Structure 1
Amino acid sequence: MSISLFRESAAASGCARLRASALTLAVFAVCSAQAQDGVIVVAQNLRAPSLDDVVVTATRTAQPLTDIVADVSIVDSETIAQAGATGLVDVLARLPGVEITRNGGVGNSSNVFLRGAEGRFTAVYIDGVRVDSQSTGGAVWEQIPLSQIDRIEVLRGPAAAVYGSDAMGGVIQLFTKKGEGPAAPYVGVGLGSHQLRRIEAGVSGAAGEGGAFDYALGISHERSDGYDIRDSASHNPDRDGYRTTAGNARLGLKINAAHRIDATLLANEMKSGYDGPKYTPADPEDDQNDNRMHAAGLTWSAQWSEAFSSRVSLTDSVSRYETTPSYYLTRTHLRGYLWHNEYRLGAHLFTAALERREDQLTNDPIDRDRSQDALALGYGFHAGNHTLQLNLRHDSDSEFGSKNTGSVAYGYAITPTLRATASAGTAFRAPTLYQRFSQYGDASLKPETGRNIEVGLRYASGASHAGVVAYRNRVSNLIIFDGTATACGQDFGCYNSVGRAEYKGVTLSAGHRVGGVTLHGSIDLQSPKDLATGRQLQRRAKRYATFGADTQLAGWTLGAEVQASGRRFDNAANTQVLGGYTLVNLYASTRVARDFTLLARVDNLGDKDYQLARTYVTPGRSLYVGLKWAPH
């Protein structure tokens, strides 16, 4: 069977080709499922689920993937290792339901949309540590180093009943490597396009009786001369490169059979070039970003009995962003306290948690803080053909008062390989401190609220998986920057919470092994809409898709990826078109000696000229070659 690829322009004919290609990939998914077990469904996750997979993001409780009702994808360490010289958001963009934007290349302002929802509607955690910006809202993605990440879990759909404020579109959990077994050192080097140079090193393992003490340490440095990221008429035509140094430490101590302590730390400093709005050829300025972040956590886990366990966590994160010579500085400091309890009784799981979050923003002249205290209750049931998950959470904000959220999810196994699911939930996000207290802020802004419903059909058997998920998420009190608002006294406009949005769509994805080739793909058909105007929300396509294939041949791992997107609009009025695009990426790896692995990767093989944000240039064709020493 041939799989047609597509390339779309802003013209209507391009849309037709995109619809045709989407149909072709959907047919591929159906036929793959039919060939395996005679079941006609379309798929869910990036890779085939395994009964051994354990997911913690869905309910904050470690659960087998087979017990999860939520829409979850997993990115494992092997997939991350094959990412080459790309950033974290590039890896996420290859997952179902995920779109990205970026103002140029790696190191510049980035954003992630889950199911079309605003970037600030995704709660992001690193080893259980919440990271966020009270200036822009949402995680500052360019601050998070992919080189230190070992595993990613992506939960699509609101999860505020578990995580509180912000989880209106979903949750993304990033995990660093955990040590186990004998000491395992590694050293890696790499070279790539735009004079990219990379070096990394680390060691992980376990020591003591029964591996009571485990450790994982890593450090990396990467720099690139970059390229000119703008194509506007007036900008500095210099190269906008970057350099970044990151490190992480993850330590665990098993005190005895019932008690364990874990400590984690991830830190990164990145400096990158950008082109500011003002440019004077006679006196050009070299605009620079300075991003710094850290995420630290300390956790005590206790198994008090066979049925009852608890976990106490203290977390601390900082997101700092500075620009020069046009000076700007913003710093967000988050502290978190969590006491999570679980009680298992046969097929029943009861959870209860007390949580406190403290936010502080320093952004001259703003120096403000706030706090949220919460009680979260959960009930899970899994037996026979039935899976049920109920969650209820009460948040008390130091400025907005109380907010209640809840969710219910149910799954029914029609056959051992086919399951239907349905869920509904409410969510909210409190306005950022910048949206309330900056010169463009309005202290009377209300929290954004959302209501979501979704249904799914999922199939998994051996190396094959398939599914379809349909969803609708409606948001009220949507905070927008309103150029006509005057409450803040600024002629340019103010933040306003009068917007309404709807994110609805269908996600199809499939995976199947044919001979020695593993195939996977996904298609998203969505309608992210501003309900006040009826227009498509900015920088989000109505159709986008991914497709991948990999195989083993003569000692090599060979793979190909295709990413495609329909047209988007760069402005709320839908007058500035960002054309559709199709990208082809290739990668290959092999062991060149006993302990050495060679990786080669080409991104955007066809050197496609496309934009994720208007007037910002993407890298074009890029090559990366890396060599890693890791004794076995």
Structure 2
Amino acid sequence: MFKPAFAAVLVASCCSVAADDSVEHISIYANRTATPQQEVLASITVLERDDIVARQASDLPALLAQLPGINLSRDGGRGQTAGIYIRGGNTGHSLVLIDGVRSGSATLGYKSLSMLPLELIERIEVVRGPRAALYGSDALAGVIAITTRRSKAVELNANVGSYGQAGTDINVSHSAEQLTLHASAGVSRADGFNVRKDLDADKDGYNQKYIKLAADYQTTVGQFSAQADVNSGFYQFDTSYGVEDEADTLNRAYLLGWQHQLGQWQHQALLSRTLDSEATFGPGSRSPFVTGRDEFSYQAASDLTDSLSFLAGMNWYHEQVDKSLTAYEQTSRINRAVFTGVNYQLNALQLEAAVRRDLINQYGGQNTWQLAAAYQLAEHWLVRASRGTAFKAPTFNDLYYPGYANPDLKPEESESDEIAVSYRNAGLVVQLAWFDRDVTNLIQGVEQAENVLLATIEGIEFSVEQQWQQFSSTFAYTWLDTENASTGKMLARRPENSINWRGSYDADKWSAFVTADYQSTTYQGMDWATGADLPLAPAHTVWGFGVSYMVNTALTVRAKVDNLFDKDYYTSDSYATAGTNFGISLSYSPR
């Protein structure tokens, strides 16, 4: 049951402290063009590198779980599988872009974020709500757009913590006239803890290493860029399916980009090749899965007049299964798409529209569209409304994996509405949004994939950001009502009520913060063997605390404690979560 007293305490705290709104955030991905955050007709959150570092989250899933409208379920600790649910959507209903490139496994149908190191991330933009009219398949619930590091100076970092956690990374940059070079590299590992005591007595840890090389070259015909990323690792896990309980991972990405301002037109092109590899293994067995994606995108944008802006582009990608445990009936498919969007502003009124046509060689055409309108009620008040459609093509596993496949599956489709009102001034941002989404042909199943006739998702997001002198705070409350219309049951692992609060104090050389994250009791779905409902995950509140101290202009020390009061809880049935744990980190960057 939701605890109103707990919410009242946090709301009261928000009225006296909150987050710094003095720096204007720019959205890059919500409209595919750089737009001031307050002018975007969607619910978005932007975290810059300083925000990411200040939060001292243990990993990327833990960081995302602090944001409005996002819930997390995880099968253990750092390195183990984590499910990210934006506004009640499935993990696969959120498109993950890394440096503008579609990312994720073609067999699973989503990007696993557990082994994507925070140390490699410069910026995160989360768009809540459909964006298929600009990005195509997968963006039913939202978009998670990640920009990797391009440090402008030498930077060294190191960290140690509970459960044998240790890591170090380095970032360097060099400029010479028109050429700029960037490099990042790091290693990380942990012994972990036993995530399923009923299965194995061992600890479940991880290790990984990564390297990134990038170059930008400015010419009279635009800026050319090249980039290569390699992220490899290993993690242990516990499962009741078979005997395999370890996995090797490898992710590679190669990018070539070009952008050029020609008159009033901004041109961009991006060519990429990505590889997603995971091989699970155990005594006497090994299950490899390797998928690849080649992608090309081009777009042109222009402010045609002071009131009207225009965007148009094309997108092509080829997905394929390069290696698998078993033979798939089909191992590749091609998607071709064109899209366009317009934005019109006249005095207090702003209108926005986008449409996209995707041609998938297995399904033919898919049309998606998005409409939005906003009106400035007063100097600080804005009301907006939007409606959009989206789809997700079935994955290779859904269609062709032996014993589970269903070649007759239809793409998942959705129609979403949102109405929001916001108040914004120099020290206070308050936002209230209602959203509603109907998903038809939702793909579910244990023994075989099948289309569910209808799933409904409705919710409310309320957030407050406020700055008062050296105190700041962010507060977010999300209410969700989900239903599988075929069974009348809720969708699994989506808590009805969740709260995230963070209060901080910043002095000249030091700062401190306190966090509190609450989830109500949560439906966990059905037992795959018996068909009976699993026990509800109990409600819980997890507190955290952190400090940082700037020793000098080059050296900063940070320390944190997660799960401060050693709360015993879980977000995925039978899987343990970390108890009280600490971390200490050093950052060195000579000026």
Instruction: Report the TM-score, using the length of structure 2 for normalisation.
Output: 0.94
Q: 1:276 to 1:471 in 2, by over 3 A?
A: closer
Which residue is equivalent to 1:425? 388
Give the SS at the match of 1:528: strand
Question: 2:76 is paired with a residue of what secondary structure?
Answer: coil
Distance in 2 of aligned mates of 1:338 and 1:289: 33
> In the alignment, which of 537, 546, 560 is matched to residue 601 of structure 1?
560
Aligned with 1:342 (options 301, 306, 311): 301
Which residue identity is paired with 2:34? A
CA RMSD in angstroms, aligned pairs only: 1.9
Structure 1 equivalent of residue 162 of structure 2? 193
Distance in 2 separating the partners of 1:445 and 1:96: 32
Give 3-state SS (helix, strand or coil) of 1:577's partner: coil
Gap runs ≥5 in structure 2: 527-531
Give the residue type in structure 2 aligned to 1:350.
F
After superposition, what is the alpha-carbon deviation per residue over 1:243-278, rounded to whole angstroms, capped at 9, x for unaligned? 11122233211113x511122333211101112437
Structure 2 residue 110 is matched with structure 1 residue 148 = no
Distance 1:126 1:311 in 2: 16
Q: 2:69 aligns with which of 83, 90, 97?
A: 97
CA distance in 2, matches of 1:587, 1:138: 32
Matches within 5 A, 1:236-385: 236-256=200-220, 259-277=222-240, 287-305=245-263, 307-325=264-282, 326-346=285-305, 347-361=307-321, 362-363=323-324, 364-366=326-328, 368-385=331-348
Q: CA deviation at 1:554?
A: 6.1
Against the structure 1 CA distance between its residues 252 and 119, is the aligned structure 2 distance closer, same or farther, given a 3 Å change threshold? same
Partner Cα distance (2:23, 2:352) in 1 = 19
- Inter-partner Cα distance in structure 2 for 1:311 and 1:601: 41
Distance, in Å, in 2 between the alignment partners of 1:554 and 1:423 is: 43
Q: Does 1:628 align with 2:582?
A: no
Match of 1:22, SS state, is helix
Q: Give the AA of the match of 1:91.
A: L
1:566 aligns with 2:532: no
1:224 pairs with one of 179, 190, 203:
190
Q: Which moved more, 1:264-273 or 1:466-475?
A: 264-273
Instruction: State the shift of 1:575 in Å.
Output: 3.7
Q: Which residue of 2 aligns with 1:416?
A: 379
Separation in 2 of the partners of 1:219 and 1:566?
Answer: 40
Please give the per-residue CA displacement for 1:123-148, whole angstroms capped at 9, x wherever unaligned.
00110111122222211112322110
Q: Distance in 1 between matches of 2:176 and 2:503?
A: 39
Deviation at 1:296, TM superposition (A): 2.6
* Partner amino acid, structure 1, of 2:279: E
1:547 aligns with 2:532: no
Alignment CA distance shift 1:543-1:226 (3 Å): same
Determine whether 1:611 maps to 2:564: no
Q: Secondary structure at the match of 1:631?
A: coil
Shift of 1:596: 1.1
Structure-1 separation of matches of 2:39 and 2:469: 30
User: What is residue 529 of structure 2 aligned with on the other side?
Assistant: none
Shift in Å, 1:569: 1.8
The 8 Å contact of residues 250 and 265 in structure 1, kept in 2 or not, is answered as yes
Q: Distance in 1 between matches of 2:545 and 2:88?
A: 27
- Counterpart Cα distance in 2 of 1:164 and 1:50: 34
User: Residue 453 in 1 paired to residue 417 in 2?
Assistant: yes
Q: Is the Cα contact below 8 Å between 1:67 and 1:382 reproduced in 2?
A: no
Q: Distance in 2 between matches of 1:50 and 1:374?
A: 39
Task: Provide closer, same or farther for how the CA distance between residues 387 and 25 of structure 1 changes in structure 2, counting only shifts above 3 A.
Answer: farther
Higher relative contact order (CA 8 A, sep 6+): 1
Aligned residues: 579
Q: Give TM-score scaled by structure 1 length.
A: 0.88
Residues 127 and 264 of structure 1 are in contact (CA less than 8 Å); yes or no, is this contact kept in structure 2?
Answer: no
Q: d(CA) in 2 for partners of 1:89 and 1:383?
A: 40
Aligned equivalent of 1:173:
145
- Paired with 1:449 and 1:340, the residues of 2 have a C-alpha distance of 25
On the 8 A contact 2:57/2:63 being kept in 1, the answer is no
Structure 2 counterpart of 1:322, which letter? A
Paired amino acid for 1:88: L
